[in-house]
Each structure stands twice: as C-alpha cells, then as structure tokens.
Chain A
C-alpha cells in the first residue's frame, strides 16, 4: 500500500478527482429556500421592468398596433414584401448569369490555381515543416492574419461581456445552483462524453500540423466539451475547473505569447527563412518550428471564447 501524502487533500490530483467524481450534494431544504428567493427576485424584476417601460412606451405600442392594422399600412407592407422578393430574384438572376461565365468547376487550368498555390504546395513543407499545408500557410506565411483573428475573437467576447453583463450586486451568488436542474441522463452521458471530447480536442490541436485540424477546430471542440460539462453539472462545479480568472489568464497569456513569438520575425528582417527554431523532421510531433505552439495558443483562445459566449448568454458572467 502506498502511503498517502500529508497534504493530499489540498493536492491537485485530489482536487481533480473530486472534480471528476465528487457529487455536489445540496439538501432539498436549501433548494426550496433558494427557489423561493428566486421567485421573489423574479417578481421584483417584473416590477422593475414595468417601471422601466414607461407609460409613454405602452402608449406608443398601442398606437403601433392601431397603426399596423390601418389599410394603407397593410398595402404598403404587401408592396414592400413583393418588392423585396423581386429584388432577391433579380440578385439571384444577375449572380447566376455571372456564374455561367465563370471557368469550369474542378478544372486544373483555372486562373485561381496560379503560382501562389504552386509555391505553397511545392515549398511549403521545406519552409514551414508542416505536413498539413493549410496549417503551415495560416500559421507561418499568414501568421499575423491569424493573430488578428484571435484578437477579433477576444474582442467579440469582450463586447458580449459589455452587452450582457449582470452588474446587479444584489443577485444571489448561488444563483447558478438554483438555475440549473439536475438531469440524471445528461449527467451520466456527460461523464463518459466530456473526457473523450476534451481529449479529442487536445489531439486535434496538437496534431494540427500533421493531420486535418488545428487551433480553430480543436479549440471549438474543446469549447463544446466545456459547454457540455457546464450544462450537465452546473456552473458551481464548473468554476472549480474554469473561472473568470482562468479565462483572463489563459486568454491573456496565449495572446501575449503569440504576439511575442511572432514579433521576433521583425528582428530577423521579417524573413522566416533563417528562423532560430529548428524545423525538425516533418511528420514528428515536435517539428515545424513555432507552428505547434501557435496552434496551442489559438486553440486555447478559441476554447475560452466559445465557453465565454455560452456562460455570458446563460448567466451574464463568465
């Protein structure tokens, strides 16, 4: 028998096993009390809304209802729908005529199969070391584009945070416990599925330069796994794994690493041919220079953003 460590209860492995297997026991009485609180809150919220919508608004709504059923408005609406359908048809016809003049589908002598794609395919493996040419293209030749795009994701998450933030101080901190209903089928299914989904996501991210996939796909898969976990077990258990500070640290760290790692190319004359990092043998997992690390960064940012969207829409904070 192996001896237990003294600080085993505080150790990471114990926390992890608690997190994976431990049950969140909430006595029924607490549930009932919290439900009552919730009902009171909803009633208060309704009163708040009724104050918020002024009598002016209600009057205008009634006016609108009367306005909507006037004869000339009905006719105008009908004309508008017919016109918009006609405009849609005209656009379809114009575009169809354009399509008819395009070069043949799937023909290898099309003008878009030009020297650029030829160079990417013929020299891509030597210059970037990535077996997956698409991955090598978006993370080496066009790495700044991908950097900007990760920033777009982060900024979108910030915008949603600004729009949907729950900055009401009186809201019960345990609100997530009440809001969520335990479902035995979902819990058991999530217990099997979540580890598999997360591991598959990590696999897709790490093999981004060897096989189909990469940061974007793997990150989205990991985000879907996190969303499934949060749906099955509620936000209280989710916060043991992924809280707001985790979100901040991971996103900031990943974006910072990406920025720093790519800005080194300015010091080498914005030329990737003489990179300091060895490319390694193509096909090995530790190959292709920076692409593996950049893939991990992008995957972390995408996963955090997907989960962040879900949490913000569900309860107003991450």
Chain B
C-alpha cells in the first residue's frame, strides 16, 4: 500500500513537484512577516498551480497543438485546454502582483515599515 503510493508519486513527478512548491509558497505566506516575501510566496503558489494544470494536459509522445501538414488527428497533439487556461492566468497574475506591490508602497509610505505585525499594531486604534 505505502510502497504503491511512493511509486505513484515517482510516476507523477511533475504533479509531486508542483504540490511541494505550492506548500513552500503557502508556508512562506504564513511564516514570513515581510510583505515582499509574502508576495513572492504568493507568486510561487501561482506558478505551482500553473505547473500542475499544464502537466495534466501533457501526453507522452505527442506534439504541441499547432497543426502541421494538415494532420488533424487527436493522437498527434497534446491537450490544448490547460495551455489556454494557463496563458490567461499568467498575465492576470502579473496584474495581481502589480496591485499588491502598489499597496505595499502605499503602506510603506504611511508606516515606514514592511513588517506586517508592526503595521497591524501601529494602525490599531486603542493602542497595544
């Protein structure tokens, strides 16, 4: 049973790595107080999800979905749907990153620190 699970993990090695990177990004979001590090962790999670999706669409021995020599057979090309989904996702993740960085700049101008705990305590109304 356990041995089977390990073998499956090594067969699905792309998904395994994607999941591990997702965990690393999530741990960074929890563990780091620095806002820039949190944004980097968020981007790592983004990239892990894209890697997972794209690896689900891959089929061994098939080519990229661009028609060559009028061959329109399913067995010639990989699945185009995850590629389309991820393509839109990558560009949206840039705009999300830009908005988060703009908020970071605003917070730094007001509180002169990047530490999220310090910001939370300074901005509290009733004192510590």
Q: Do A and B have CB atoms closer than 8 angstroms in the complex?
A: yes
A172 vs chain B, min Cβ distance (A):
20
User: Out of B9, B62, B92, B111, which one reaches A99, CB within 8 Å?
Assistant: B9
- With a cutoff of 8 Å between Cβ atoms, the chain B residues found around residue A309 in the complex are 94-95, 98
A137 touches B66 (CB 8 A): no
B103 touches A163 (CB 8 A): yes
User: Out of A63, A87, A112, A302, which one reaches B56, CB within 8 Å?
Assistant: A112
User: Out of B5, B95, B111, which one reaches A152, CB within 8 Å?
Assistant: B95
A interface residues, Cβ below 8 angstroms from B: 49, 52-53, 57, 60-61, 63-64, 67, 81, 84-85, 87-89, 91-92, 95-102, 104-108, 110, 112-113, 116-118, 120-122, 124-125, 131-134, 137-138, 142, 145-146, 149, 152-153, 156-157, 159-160, 163-164, 211-212, 214, 216, 220, 282, 302, 305-306, 309, 312-313
B23 touches A92 (CB 8 A): yes
A67 touches B88 (CB 8 A): no
- With a cutoff of 8 Å between Cβ atoms, the chain B residues found around residue A149 in the complex are 88, 91-92
- With a cutoff of 8 Å between Cβ atoms, the chain A residues found around residue B66 in the complex are 131-133, 211-212
State the CA gap A211–B66 with chains docked (Å): 7
* Contacts A134-B84, A137-B84, A164-B105 given; does A107 touch B59 at CB 8 Å: yes
User: Out of A85, A106, A121, which one reaches B74, CB within 8 Å?
Assistant: A121
The B contact surface, by secondary structure, is helix
B128 touches A60 (CB 8 A): yes
A106 touches B65 (CB 8 A): no
- With a cutoff of 8 Å between Cβ atoms, the chain B residues found around residue A132 in the complex are 65-67
- With a cutoff of 8 Å between Cβ atoms, the chain A residues found around residue B87 in the complex are 134, 138, 214, 216
A309 vs chain B, min Cβ distance (A):
5
B34 at the interface (CB under 8 A from A): no
- With a cutoff of 8 Å between Cβ atoms, the chain A residues found around residue B105 in the complex are 163-164, 313
Chain B window 8-28, contacts with chain A (Cβ cutoff 8 Å), 1 for yes, 0 for no: 110111111001101110110
User: Out of A57, A121, A157, which one reaches B122, CB within 8 Å?
Assistant: A57
- With a cutoff of 8 Å between Cβ atoms, the chain B residues found around residue A105 in the complex are 11-15, 55, 58
B96 vs chain A, min Cβ distance (A):
7
A99 touches B12 (CB 8 A): yes
B interface residues, Cβ below 8 angstroms from A: 4-6, 8-9, 11-16, 19-20, 22-24, 26-27, 30-31, 55-60, 62, 64-67, 70, 72-77, 79-84, 87-88, 90-92, 94-96, 98-99, 101-103, 105-106, 109-112, 118, 121-122, 127-128
B16 touches A96 (CB 8 A): yes
A137 touches B92 (CB 8 A): no
B21 vs chain A, min Cβ distance (A):
10
User: Out of B9, B15, B62, B81, which one reaches A116, CB within 8 Å?
Assistant: B81
A142 touches B84 (CB 8 A): yes
Name the CB-closest residue of B to A136. Answer: B80
User: Out of A95, A100, A214, which one reaches B23, CB within 8 Å?
Assistant: A95
B15 touches A120 (CB 8 A): no
B98 vs chain A, min Cβ distance (A):
5
A92 touches B19 (CB 8 A): yes
- For the complex of A and B, the 7 pairs showing the least CB-CB separation, nearest first, are A88-B27, A156-B95, A92-B23, A84-B30, A106-B60, A133-B65, A100-B8
* Contacts A60-B121, A164-B105 given; does A101 touch B8 at CB 8 Å: yes
A239 vs chain B, min Cβ distance (A):
22
